[in-house]
Structures are given as C-alpha cells and as structure tokens.
Amino acid sequence: PREMTIKQFAEEIIRITGTKSGMEYRPLPEDDPKVRQPDITRAKKILGWEPRVNFDEGIRKTIDYFKQHTELVEGTTK
C-alpha cells in the first residue's frame, strides 16, 4: 500500500467519484498518526495475505457498496 495524507485521500475520492465536493479543514488531534501507510509484512508472512485490489478499485467498490446500501449512510452527511 502507498502512503498518503488525509488530504490526498480526500482528493483521490473526489477525483474517483467525479463530485464537486469540497474539503473542510480542522485542527489535527495531538495523537494524529504521522504515517498512514499500513505495514502488511506480518499479514503476508503469517497469513499469506496480500491485497487483491488496488486503491482506485477498492474505493470504487466501497462507494458502490454504500450506494446500494443507502440506509447505512442516511443522516451521516450535512
């Protein structure tokens, strides 16, 4: 998995969805992680697990899922 900031993550979601969504900036909590790149070496070694989809495909599948299950997101957006 590649490392990215939360801003980059949001920008990618906006790009993939083609929405005109904006971003709302808030102060970071003191315990905010500095690195957002999961280390999957233990999962590979112990479980033989590796990702089967890339970031774009995973986000698209996640968005499609929530579009099909709108009851899960009702009332969660402004």
- Of 64, 73, 76, 65, nearest to 17 by C-alpha is 64
Q: Please report whether residue 78 resides in a domain.
A: no
**pLDDT band at residue 7, thresholds of 50, 70 and 90?**
confident
Q: Please report whether residue 17 resides in a domain.
A: yes
Q: Please report whether residue 77 resides in a domain.
A: no
Q: Please report whether residue 40 resides in a domain.
A: yes
**pLDDT averaged over the chain?**
86
Q: Please report whether residue 18 resides in a domain.
A: yes
Report CA dihedral (7, 77, 73, 36) to the nearest 10 degrees.
20
Domain holding 56, by residue range, is 6-22+35-72
The tens digit of pLDDT for each residue in 25-49 reads: 989 888 988 767 778 899 999 999 9
Q: Please report whether residue 30 resides in a domain.
A: no
Which residues 6+ apart lie within 8 Å of 65 measured at CB?
Answer: none
- Gap between the Cα atoms of 29 and 50, Å rounded: 31
Q: Please report whether residue 67 resides in a domain.
A: yes
Q: Please report whether residue 44 resides in a domain.
A: yes
- What is the count of structural domains for the chain? 1
CA distances from residue 2 to 24, 26, 51, 75 in whole angstroms, order as listed: 24, 24, 12, 32
**pLDDT band at residue 78, thresholds of 50, 70 and 90?**
low
pLDDT, residue 11, reads: 92
